[in-house]
Amino acid sequence: MRVFVTGASGFIGSAVVPELLGAGHEVVGLARSDNSAAALTAAGAAVHRGALDDLDSLRDGAAASDGVIHLAFNHDFADYVGASHMDRRAIETIGAALENSGRPFVIASGTLGLPAGRVATEHDMPAPDSETPRNAGAQAALALATRGVRSSVLRLPPSVHGEGDHGFVPALVGIARDKGVSGYLGDGSTCWPTVHRLDAARLFRLALQAPAGTVLHAVAEEGVPIRDIAEVIGRHLNLPSASIPEEEAGEHFGFLASFIGVDVRASSAVTRKLLDWQPTGPGLIDDLDRGHYFRTPSA
C-alpha cells in the first residue's frame, strides 16, 4: 500500500514511517522544509513537498495514495483555535480527495475533551461544550465514513512519551527547573493516560485496517497520577515536589494550567480487541526513570 503521511518527520511520525516500511508499505511523507525532506529520505520514504495550509499539496498527495495517515498539527497554543481550524480544513481537503474510494484515512486526535472524572472509552464523544476545538476535525473525519472514505480517528493521550518527546511531560520538567519545585494541583490524584511512541506508531499502522467510522484509543496506561509524575521529576532534578495553589496555577504552569488539573483517564479495551493491539513499551514512570527526559542540551 502507498501511504501518504502528514507529520511524517515529527515525534510520532518518525516512528510511524519505519513501522509502515517494515510492514512492506510504500511511504510518501509530507515535507515543508529541506530538513524534513532530508529526514524522510534518510528513513527510506518518498518526499511530497507541501504544508498543512497548502491545500493543493494535500489534495495531490492524498489522491495519489492508497491511504492516508494524518499526523501533522500546528501545536501553537497561542492560537490553538486557528491551528484547529487549519487542521479541519486539511482533513476536509484530504477527505474530498479520497471520497467514494473506500481507501483508509486515519487521523490523530486526542483524549482531552472526553468526559472527565471517569475512565472514558472509544464510545465516548467530547461534550458539546468541550473547549477542545481540535475535536471539530475529528468529527469531520468521522463524517467522511458516509462519503465512501474508510475514515478512523485515533485518539492520543496527553502523554505520548519516549526519547525525543517535546510535549507535556518535557514542559513539566522545564517548569520544575524554572520554578525550583515540581508541582501538581490539589492532592495530585488527577490522572493522564499515556502511551509509548512506538506502541502508538504500531497502532497507526494497524488502524489502516479499521472499519469506516471507527474511534481508536492509543492508550497503554489508563491513568498515571500527576503527583507520581511530579515526584519522579522532582527526584531526578533534586527538587521538592509540592501542591501548587489553584489560584497560582496559571502563573506556575502557564499553558499547562488548563490541563494539569483535569482527570482524563481513558481505556483502550475496544481498540485492543478490534485490532489485536498490545502495548509493549515502558510505562511513563519507567520511561522517566531511564533519564533521557533530564538530559541538558549539552549532555
Enter the C-alpha cell of residue 205: 499502522
Amino acid at 113: G
Q: Can you give 8-64 as a three-state secondary structure string? A: CCCCCHHHHHHHHHHCCCEEEEEECCHHHHHHHHHHCCEEEECCCCCHHHHHHHHHC
Q: Return d(Cα 98, Cα 105) in angstroms, integer.
A: 8
Average pLDDT for 21-27 = 98
Pair type for strands 191-196 and 221-225? antiparallel
pLDDT of residue 298: 47
Q: How confident is the model over 46-98, as pLDDT tens digits?
A: 999 999 999 999 999 999 999 999 999 887 667 778 888 899 999 999 999 99
Q: Name every residue whose Cβ is closer than 8 Å to that of residue 281 and which is 6 or more positions away in sequence.
A: 162, 195, 196, 197, 198, 199, 220, 287
Does 280 or 135 have the greater pLDDT score? 280
Chain region(s) in the chain for CATH 3.90.25: 162-193+222-294
pLDDT of residue 118 exceeding 60, the answer is yes
| 3-state secondary structure (DSSP) of residue 203 | helix
pLDDT of residue 81: 80
Q: Name every residue whose Cβ is closer than 8 Å to that of residue 63 and which is 6 or more positions away in sequence.
A: 97, 98
pLDDT band at residue 1 under the 50/70/90 scheme: very high
Enter the C-alpha cell of residue 194: 499515556
Conformation bin of residue 16: beta by default, left when phi > 0, alpha when psi is -120 to 50? alpha
pLDDT of residue 142 exceeding 80, the answer is yes
CATH node for 2-159+195-220: 3.40.50.720
pLDDT of residue 131: 56
For the chain, how big is the Rg over CA atoms in Å? Answer: 19
- Of the options 3.40.1800, 3.40.50, 3.90.25, 2.60.40, the CATH number for the domain spanning 162-193+222-294: 3.90.25
pTM across the whole model:
0.95
pLDDT of residue 132 exceeding 70, the answer is no
pLDDT of residue 196: 98
pLDDT band at residue 126 under the 50/70/90 scheme: confident
Q: Return d(Cα 257, Cα 121) in angstroms, integer.
A: 25
pLDDT of residue 80: 73
Chain region(s) in the chain for CATH 3.40.50.720: 2-159+195-220
Query: Which residues share a beta bridge with 196?
Result: 161
pLDDT of residue 77: 63
pLDDT of residue 299: 42
Q: What is the DSSP string of 130-190?
A: -S-TTHHHHHHHHHGGGGT-EEEEEEEPSEEESTT--SHHHHHHHHHHHHTSEEEETTS--
Q: How confident is the model over 180-239, as pLDDT tens digits?
A: 999 999 999 999 999 999 999 999 999 999 999 999 999 999 999 999 999 999 999 999
pLDDT of residue 23 exceeding 80, the answer is yes
Asked if 113 and 258 touch (Cβ cutoff 8 Å), the reply is: no
pLDDT of residue 134 exceeding 80, the answer is no
